[in-house]
Structures are given as C-alpha cells and as structure tokens.
Amino acid sequence: MIDIKSKKAVFFDFGDTLASTVPSYPDRIRLALIEMGINITEKQYFSAFQCADYTIYKEYIQEQNISSSIYQNKLFSILLYELGIKIDIKEARTQIKQKLAKSIFTRQLLPGAKELLKDLSASGYRLSVISNNDGKTAEKCEEVGIAGYLELIIDSTNVKKIKPDKDIFLLASGRLGIDTKDILHIGDLYGADVMGATNAGIDVIWINHKEGVNYEGIDITEVKDLFELSKLFQLS
C-alpha cells in the first residue's frame, strides 16, 4: 500500500485524468474509423487501444527507444491490427488525421479535478502535469483553469520525450529537485502512465475509468474517478 502522506509531489497525466475533450481523443479516433466504414463497438475499441498502449511500453523496454513519431506510428498500427482491420497503415493514418482535424469538440475538467488540485495544493503537495501532448499543454491547463495550482507542466512535444519513457518522469523529478521515492504519479493509461512511472521508480495510482486490464498483475492502487482519489488522500 502506498504511503501517500509521505509523498512530497504529485504528478498528473492531463488528458482523461484531469481534463478531457468531448468526445475524448481516443473516442475521436474510434469515430473516425466508424466514418471510414469500420464497424467496431466501444468495448472492442477500448480493449484494442489499451492493448496498443501496453504493447508500446513492452517494445520500449526491449528497444530502449521511443519518440512521439514512434509512439504515434505504433499506436495506429497496433490498434488496427488488434481490431483486425486490414488497411494500409499510411492511408489509415492520413484519413484519421484528416477526420480528426475536422472533428468538433470541447475541452472540460473532469468532475472533481479543480477541487482535488486546490485541496492537494493547500495540503502542501507540489503539483505537476506530465502529458503526451501537442506542445500546448500549458495553454490547455490555463483554458480549464488549473494552471495556477501547477508548479511544473511537462509536454512531450516540447521536451522531446514521451511516456512511457522513464526519462520524462526523471526530467520532471530533476526539475523539481525531488527524489522519485517522494513522488506519486496519477494517470489513466496502463502502459504510458502506470508502467512508465513504475519503471522510473515512482509509485502510481491508476485511474482505471473503464475496467482496463492489469497486464502484468502488479500490485497497484486503482480508483475509478477523482472522487475516489480524493478519499485516498483523505481530502473528503
């Protein structure tokens, strides 16, 4: 069991952990595939997406090489393979990108996010965001009203490192001047967040929104939402 009270800093993922677009980024990919005439259920898609995210982690561990372009290329190729979709990867990526560019969405905080950050900050925790994103995480945090609670915002595009690479977690640890044993990471993706942070020597709480699979069977604290998370900190 994690000794939460001993932690000095809390790292958060951003998308689908603190905030989300509506529809979410993964859902927009699913809707793009449906527009392309590919019939898949939400359950099938989530299972394939989680598998792709975890497979990327496993390959990173073997190859010790990961970048934003590698992550995106592997995500699409593994996702299509897991869904049994026989389509040229380059063509699929082009079509999906075009449809994503035209998609309409809004961005909002997940329920309980601002209250959680406010209470954690008031309790003395140093708060940061580590996000696999497009270089605009800081602006997005401003947009949803949480930037003021964050001491550090790390965006994969800006630092040229991407989860599950342990170096992105160690970069954040170094910038704060806090040992990894004193940090807790919170995120929703099993491969990128859970295994990535674990590999960096950082304890993790998994926000397992959709009953995802603990592929490695590790002992890990899970919550379904930010309200459950708040209770773990004994904030409410």
Tens digits of residue pLDDT in 118-172 = 999 999 999 999 999 999 999 999 999 999 999 999 999 999 999 999 999 999 9
The strand pairing partners of 186, in sequence order, are 12, 205
- Same domain, yes or no: 12 and 124: yes
- Same domain, yes or no: 61 and 125: no
Which of the listed residues 51, 82, 102 is the one where a domain comes to its end? 102
Residue 12 φ/ψ, nearest 5 degrees: -120, 140
- Same domain, yes or no: 175 and 75: no
- Same domain, yes or no: 123 and 28: no
Which of the listed residues 62, 84, 102 is the one where a domain comes to its end? 102
Q: For residue 82, give its domain range.
A: 24-102
- Same domain, yes or no: 176 and 192: yes
Which of the listed residues 52, 85, 102 is the one where a domain comes to its end? 102
C-alpha span between 184 and 9 (Å, rounded): 6
The continuous run of DSSP H or E covering 207 comes out as: strand 203-207
- Same domain, yes or no: 29 and 90: yes
- Same domain, yes or no: 145 and 44: no
pLDDT score of 236: 54
Q: Would the pLDDT of 1 be above 90?
A: no
- Same domain, yes or no: 28 and 41: yes
pLDDT score of 39: 87
Q: Tell me the mean pLDDT in the region 83-109.
A: 90
Query: Is 169 strand, coil or helix?
Result: helix
pLDDT score of 217: 96
C-alpha span between 113 and 159 (Å, rounded): 25
Query: Is 220 strand, coil or helix?
Result: coil
The strand pairing partners of 25, in sequence order, are none
Query: Is 24 strand, coil or helix?
Result: coil
Query: Is 206 strand, coil or helix?
Result: strand
- List all residues 6 or more positions away from 227 whose beta carbon is below 8 Å from its beta carbon: 111, 112, 236
CA-to-CA dists, residue 188 to 14, 17, 61, 165, angstroms = 9, 6, 20, 16
The model's pLDDT over 36-94, given as tens digits with 9 standing for 90+, comes to: 999 899 999 999 999 999 999 999 999 999 999 999 889 999 999 999 988 888 888 89
Q: Would the pLDDT of 116 be above 80?
A: yes
- Same domain, yes or no: 69 and 161: no
- Same domain, yes or no: 136 and 223: yes
In this prediction the pTM is 0.95
The model's pLDDT over 10-37, given as tens digits with 9 standing for 90+, comes to: 999 999 999 999 999 999 999 999 999 9
pLDDT score of 180: 98
Residue 175 sits in a domain of what CATH number?
3.40.50.1000
- Same domain, yes or no: 155 and 140: yes
Find the length of the chain: 236
The strand pairing partners of 203, in sequence order, are 184
How many distinct structural domains can be found in the chain?
A: 2
- Same domain, yes or no: 72 and 137: no
C-alpha span between 103 and 59 (Å, rounded): 31
Pairing of strands 152-155, 221-223: unpaired
The model's pLDDT over 187-224, given as tens digits with 9 standing for 90+, comes to: 999 999 999 999 999 999 999 999 999 999 999 999 99
Q: Would the pLDDT of 235 be above 80?
A: no
pLDDT score of 234: 86
pLDDT score of 224: 97
CA angle 33, 156, 184 (to 5 degrees): 105
pLDDT score of 222: 97
